[in-house]
Homo-oligomer: A and B are copies of this chain.
């Protein structure tokens, strides 16, 4: 029972980034999204992945590998938008 709660929790926190990634790809709107959050989060999730590989824990490895892909997509769109903003401020 307790294990089941853990598995459901892991699945939910992993798949939750899918609708965000899809929304970001579709709308390219990242105005409300924090660059710092996704920079720190992507680093953290990548370290979780390394940790999972090191101790050969497949749930940690797989969940964080998938989350890392979603997170890096959102981060990339945010960086592209920030760069466009900076350019437009310089050449309005």
The prevalent SS among residues of A at the interface is helix
CA distance A48 to B13 in the complex (A): 9
Size category, A interface: 35 or more
Produce 1/0 per residue, A4-42, CB < 8 A to B.
011011111111111110111001011111101110110
CA distance A14 to B43 in the complex (A): 12
Are A12 and B47 in contact, CB atoms less than 8 angstroms apart?
Answer: yes
Are A16 and B30 in contact, CB atoms less than 8 angstroms apart?
Answer: no
CA distance A16 to B41 in the complex (A): 5
Q: Interface on A for B, CB 8 Å cutoff?
A: 2, 5-6, 8-20, 22-24, 27, 29-34, 36-38, 40-41, 43-45, 47-48, 50-51, 54-55
